[in-house]
Structure 1
Amino acid sequence: MSSSEAKKSRGRQRIEIKKMCNEANLQVTFSKRRSGLFKKASELSTLCGASVALVVFSPGKKVFSFGHPSVDGVIERYLTQGPTPLMDVQRMAELEAERKRAQELSGKERETEAHLWWARPVEGMISIDNLYKLKKAFE
């Protein structure tokens, strides 16, 4: 076959946008497009830090949803036009956990300082007993 005899393709063509008649093709197309749409929503939330909620009803009357951080949280925020109570509770819990950790660390620091009295500056030692202890530690 020479190049003139080869079948020429029409290339990528625009298709008319209309509802599909074949139910099997319709379901397959819906599934593929739904997964692509969910992937794009996930990328948007990951790359931009956006809160995203997506609800899709299939031709078979099934509901599919995607949400980051959650569908309910994003919808609640949309309806109230403010931060969601769930997000506030999560932030408060994280803040409380950090406060407890800071208290534990400062308690350990005070405990360590009490045991390592010789590591403190000499000016801070008030009693003569501590100075004698320091002298023995050096010897």
Structure 2
Amino acid sequence: MSQKPQVAAIEGWYTMDQKAPHLIGTCCSECGTYYFPKLTSFCKNPSCESESFDEVELSRTGKIWSYTNACYKPPEPFVAADPFVPYTIAAVELDKEKMIILGQAIEGVTVADLKVGMEVELCLETLYEDEENDKITWKWKPVSNPA
């Protein structure tokens, strides 16, 4: 493991608490609709006209809604490891908010390890490193060891 400082790959989108990280979203203070990434302009709920939002930490756990593999290097501005290594992407329905959040599965988890409805939790893992820092992002980890 690198001895470089760990910094968020995308500042302000998630907490950097290694033991219990959270995605940071907003909740409409009038209708209770959740958003990620944060929304601050106007509520997109058609039955709400609010422009007031509260910043909230979203659920750390959810269930796999869908998943796939990424066997190609993504285009800029995304920064991929060099050399590129295929990875697994999971669409997760958050427990409380019932919204779908996309993210990579932790290193070593493949599509063969996942099932729709499987419980996962948010964790932090290195996305890439540059000359000065390890760039950290959120990823999904099966609650029980992958089968």
Same fold (TM over 0.5): no
TM-score, structure 2 normalization: 0.19
TM-score using structure 1 length: 0.19
Structure number with higher helix proportion:
1
Higher relative CO (CA 8 A, sep ≥ 6), structure 1 or 2? 2
Which entry has the higher C-alpha Rg, 1 or 2?
1
**Higher strand residue share:** 2
